[in-house]
Amino acid sequence: MNGEVAAITMAARPKVAAAAVKDAAITALVALGLFVPIVGLRTDVSSAGTLYLRERWGDVAILVVLAFAGRLGLLTWRGLRGEAKPATAARTALLARAGTFVAPLLLGLAVVLPFMPGTGRYELDLGILVLTYVMLGWGLNIVVGLAGLLDLGYVAFYAVGAYSYALLATTFGWSFWICLPLAGILAAFWGVLLGFPVLRLRGDYLAIVTLAFGEIIRVVLINWASLTGGPNGITGIPRPSFFGLPFSMSGEPDTFAGFFGIEPSPVHRVIFLYYLILILALLTNWVSIRLRRQPLGRAWEALREDEIACRALGINITNTKLTAFAIGAMFGGFAGAFFATRQGFISPESFTFIESAIILAIVVLGGMGSQIGIAIAALVMIGGFEVFRDLDEWRMLVFGGAMVLIMVVRPRGLVGSRTPTIALGARRAIGAEHVGEGRG
Amino acid sequence: MSAPMLAVDAVSTAYGAVQALRDVSIEVAKGEIVTLVGANGAGKSTLLMTICGDPRARAGRVAFEGRDITALPTHEIMRLGIAQVPEGRRVFPRMSVMENLLMGAQVAGHDPAPLLAQVFALFPRLQERQAQRGGTLSGGEQQMLAIGRALMSRPRLLLLDEPSLGLAPLIVRQIFAAIRDLNEKEGLTVLLVEQNANQALRLAHRGYVLVNGRITLRGTGRELLAMPEVRDAYLGGGH
Q: For chain B, how many structural domains are there in total?
A: 1
State mean pLDDT over A167-185. Answer: 93
Question: Minimal Cα–Cα distance from B77 to chain A, Å?
Answer: 7
What tens digit of pLDDT does each residue of B125-142 get?
Answer: 999 999 999 999 999 999
ipTM: 0.89
- In this predicted structure, the answer to whether residue B195 has a pLDDT above a threshold of 70 is yes
Interchain CB contact of B110 with A (< 8 Å) = no
As beta bridge partners, residue B9 has B61
Distance CA A356, CA A359 (A): 5
Report the candidate in A269, A287, A386, A371 with the shortest Cα–Cα distance to residue A334: A287
- Pick B96's closest partner by Cβ from A314, A316, A420: A420
Residue B239 to residues A222, A344, B221, B225, B235, Cα–Cα distance (Å): 74, 81, 16, 11, 6
**Residue A311 Cα, gap to closest chain B Cα (Å):** 6
- CA B104 to each of CA A278, A392, B27, B74: distance values in angstroms, whole numbers, following the listed order: 37, 55, 26, 15
Q: Residue B206 in 3-state DSSP?
A: strand
pLDDT in tens, A419-429: 666 666 545 55
Specify the pLDDT at position A360. 93
Q: B 53-82 residues with CB below 8 A of A?
A: 54, 73-79
For the segment A385-394, the average pLDDT, to the nearest whole number, is 78
Q: Per the domain annotation, does B123 fall within a domain? A: no
Amino acid at A21: V
pLDDT in tens, A294-311: 899 999 999 999 999 999
> In chain A, where does the domain assigned CATH 1.10.3470 lie?
95-434
Domain with B4, as residue range(s), is: 1-80+196-239
Structural domain includes residue B144: no
Quote the strand ranges of A216-279, DSSP E: none
Q: Is residue B148 part of a domain?
A: no
CATH class of this structure's domain A95-434: mainly alpha
pLDDT tens digit string along B52-99? Answer: 998 999 999 999 999 999 999 999 999 999 999 999 999 999 899 999
Q: What is the CATH number of the domain that holds B60?
A: 3.40.50.300
Residue A436 and residue B135: Cβ atoms within 8 Å?
Answer: yes
What pLDDT score does A259 carry? 81
- Where does the pLDDT of residue A7 fall: very low under 50, low under 70, confident under 90, or very high at 90 and above? low
Whether B179 shows a pLDDT value over 90: the answer reads yes
Q: How many CB atoms lie within 10 A of CB B127?
A: 14
**Residue B22 in domain:** yes
For chain A, give the percent of residues with pLDDT over 70: 87
Report yes or no on B183 lying in a domain: no
Q: Do A301 and B95 touch (CB under 8 A)?
A: yes
Query: For residue B46, is it within any domain?
Result: yes
Put simply, whether A306 touches B (Cβ < 8 Å) is: yes
Residue B169 amino acid letter? P
| CA proximity to B47, closest of B66, B32, B28, B31 | B28
C-beta atoms of B78 and A295 within 8 A = no
Task: Give the closest-approach CA distance of A416 to chain B in angstroms.
Answer: 12
pLDDT in tens, A255-285: 888 888 788 788 888 999 999 999 999 999 9
Query: How far lies A377's CA from each of A286, A383, B183, in Å?
Result: 18, 9, 52
pTM to 2 decimal places: 0.81
